[in-house]
């Protein structure tokens, strides 16, 4: 509260009416550009070429982290594992560097590559003419054929032509989604194969098209008999590393892949994770993994989820709320100004923030700004987006709280000689703060839940940890429910603090 009063004492005289309007306009204009200014900094030049990677000693690899058995978190160690992960590590060893993995949702992985968040993508990237034209692709390190998976009791699909009019679940940007569309299927977009299989098991879709390697590995891992391979598509898919166009990276990667293929490393990694060879045929004598207890899976992930809540989710919400509150206070005072330009700028800011989705704001700051040479790390990008969003919504809460104070209070203060700053600091703000607590508390609680959106821009907060844990185990209900309980507990604590604060401030209210 004291901090808010001090801010008003500095800002109040600026936004009052009169000859200082130009200063206030400059302050508010700076506020509207806060996102870009907070993000501004010297942008590193785009790191291209193998020399850059060798000089840094790091190969940055973008991967999904939720696409078992190719890229996922090992439930036992919590470390990234999988076919693509091990191949990337083996390639890095051949190049004499170490790997640094950046987990990214599949649908935004190429945006991250173009933004320079990592050097290559290793996530079963299928070779297509469109991708060849836009990216540098390495030699294939896996080859598979397309298969159609249906429920075991569904005999209506026996060929690719039978998909016409049916509903399939596919990753929106995968080549298998296009195969399904070309066959006349209605495609429901999902984040990956694990979600597609889950929807199929639940009867929400009738099929999913994917490569045979992933399907055979799924059968080996889960022993699931509720689904089956109903048909083959006749398509062959080659998977390769993807790098930015003209990056100069793929030549050395190709040499490393040739060596790994010649010495049998690729084959050994394939058998380790896929229980099948790289061409997609099932290995003879494969053994199914022993299913893990749901309670054991939950127990193994209680601390990682709690750690993410304490170290990422709560700090992200707290920092964003404090910064957003300062922005909201300035904008609220600007909305109360009788200077038309200042008032109009505040209205525009609020309109933009409230009229655009928070997720779009996050994507603009994290994925779009790098195209303008402004690269913001994940956590600060989330802080900027959430702060600006809080500022837009909380400004109206603060403005209405100030207006709720009887005008006679201001007139009485002026009568005894108080100036604008003193009146706001000693008379108006204390009363307005009491009225604003419920609305601002609700904004904070909503912000805590909104931090889950930060998982889309590489922030490993609570929901992202739950997603990484659910991917290889397929225990979506158990792990997502656990995450929901964590969010609920945080919100309960905040609600309790809100009640105590309201009771404390209520002592000064006139009865």
**Helices of type H across 140-291:** 175-182, 193-201, 212-222, 250-262, 265-274
With cut-offs at 50, 70 and 90, classify the pLDDT of residue 290.
low
With cut-offs at 50, 70 and 90, classify the pLDDT of residue 482.
very high
Whether 372 shows a pLDDT value over 80: the answer reads yes
pLDDT at 362 (0 to 100): 94
With cut-offs at 50, 70 and 90, classify the pLDDT of residue 26.
very low
Residue 283 CB: number of other CB atoms within 10 A?
Answer: 14
- Give a yes or no: residue 134 inside a domain: no
- Give a yes or no: residue 67 inside a domain: no
Whether 44 shows a pLDDT value over 50: the answer reads no
- Give a yes or no: residue 108 inside a domain: no
Structural domain of 477? 295-507
CA distance 227 to 412: 77
Q: How many domains does the chain have?
A: 1
Residue 238 CB: number of other CB atoms within 10 A?
Answer: 16
- Give a yes or no: residue 214 inside a domain: no
Grouping H, G, I as helix, E, B as strand and the rest as coil, residue 276 is: strand
- Give a yes or no: residue 423 inside a domain: yes
What pLDDT, in 10s, does the model give residues 53-90? 999 999 999 999 888 788 998 878 888 999 999 999 99
**Residues contacting 349, CB < 8 A, separation 6+:** 28, 31, 32, 331, 391, 392, 395
Q: Which helix (H) or strand (E) holds 188?
A: strand 186-190
pLDDT at 201 (0 to 100): 85
The answer to pTM > 0.85 is no
CA distance 179 to 296: 39
Give percent of the chain above pLDDT 70.
85
Distances (CA, A) of 93 to 86, 96, 243, 401, 475: 10, 5, 18, 61, 34
Calculate mean pLDDT across residues 134-146: 90
- Give a yes or no: residue 4 inside a domain: no
Distances (CA, A) of 276 to 282, 355, 498: 5, 50, 57
Instruction: DSSP for 287-333, please give it.
Output: -PPPPPPHHHHHHHHHHHHHHHIIIIIHHHHHHHHHHHHHHHHHHHH
pLDDT at 22 (0 to 100): 47
Whether 11 shows a pLDDT value over 60: the answer reads no
- Give a yes or no: residue 185 inside a domain: no
DSSP code, position 282:
B
CATH code, domain with 436? 1.10.3720.10
CA distance 353 to 357: 8
- Give a yes or no: residue 19 inside a domain: no
């Amino acid at each position: 509260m004291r901090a808010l009063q001090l801010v008003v004492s500095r800002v109040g005289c600026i936004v009052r009416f009169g000859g200082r309007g130009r200063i206030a306009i400059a302050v508010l204009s700076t506020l509207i550009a806060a996102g870009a200014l907070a993000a501004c900094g010297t942008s590193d030049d785009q790191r291209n070429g193998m020399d850059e990677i060798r000089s840094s000693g790091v190969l940055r690899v973008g991967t999904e982290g939720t696409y078992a058995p190719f890229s996922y978190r090992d439930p036992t160690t919590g470390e990234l594992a999988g076919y693509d992960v091990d191949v990337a590590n083996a390639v890095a060893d051949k190049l004499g560097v170490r790997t640094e993995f950046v987990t990214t949702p599949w649908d935004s992985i190429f945006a991250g590559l173009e933004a320079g968040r990592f050097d290559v993508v290793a996530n079963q990237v299928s070779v297509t003419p469109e991708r060849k034209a836009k990216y540098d692709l390495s030699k294939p390190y896996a080859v598979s054929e397309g298969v159609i998976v249906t429920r075991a009791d569904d005999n209506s699909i026996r060929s690719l032509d039978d998909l016409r009019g049916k509903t399939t679940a596919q990753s929106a940007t995968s080549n298998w989604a296009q195969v399904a569309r070309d066959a006349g299927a209605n495609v429901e977009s999902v984040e990956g194969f694990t979600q597609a299989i889950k929807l199929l098991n639940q009867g929400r879709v009738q099929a999913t098209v994917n490569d045979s390697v992933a399907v055979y590995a799924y059968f080996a891992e889960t022993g699931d008999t509720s689904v089956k391979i109903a048909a083959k598509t006749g398509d062959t898919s080659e998977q390769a590393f993807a790098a930015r166009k003209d990056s100069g990276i793929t030549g050395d990667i190709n040499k490393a892949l040739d060596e790994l293929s010649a010495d049998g490393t690729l084959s050994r990694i394939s058998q380790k994770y896929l229980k099948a060879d790289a061409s997609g045929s099932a290995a003879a004598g494969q053994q199914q993994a022993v299913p893990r207890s749901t309670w054991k899976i939950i127990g193994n992930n209680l601390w990682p989820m709690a750690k993410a809540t304490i170290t990422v989710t709560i700090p992200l919400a707290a920092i964003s709320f404090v910064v957003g509150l300062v922005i909201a206070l300035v904008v609220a005072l600007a909305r109360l100004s009788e200077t038309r330009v200042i008032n109009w700028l505040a209205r525009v800011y609020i309109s933009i923030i409230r009229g655009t989705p928070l997720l779009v704001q996050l994507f603009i700051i994290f994925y779009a700004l790098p195209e303008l040479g402004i690269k913001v790390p994940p956590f600060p990008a989330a802080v900027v987006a959430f702060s600006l969003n809080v500022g837009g919504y909380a400004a109206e809460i603060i403005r209405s709280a100030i207006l709720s104070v009887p005008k006679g209070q201001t007139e009485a203060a002026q009568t005894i000689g108080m100036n604008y700053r003193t009146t706001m600091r000693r008379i108006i703000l204390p009363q307005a703060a009491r009225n604003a607590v419920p609305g601002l508390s609700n904004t904070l609680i909503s912000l805590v839940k909104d931090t889950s959106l930060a998982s889309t821009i590489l922030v490993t907060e609570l929901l992202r940890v739950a997603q990484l844990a659910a991917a290889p185990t397929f225990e979506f209900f158990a792990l997502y429910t656990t995450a929901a309980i964590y969010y609920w507990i945080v919100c309960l604590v905040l609600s309790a603090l809100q009640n105590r604060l309201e009771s404390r401030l209520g002592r000064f209210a006139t009865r």
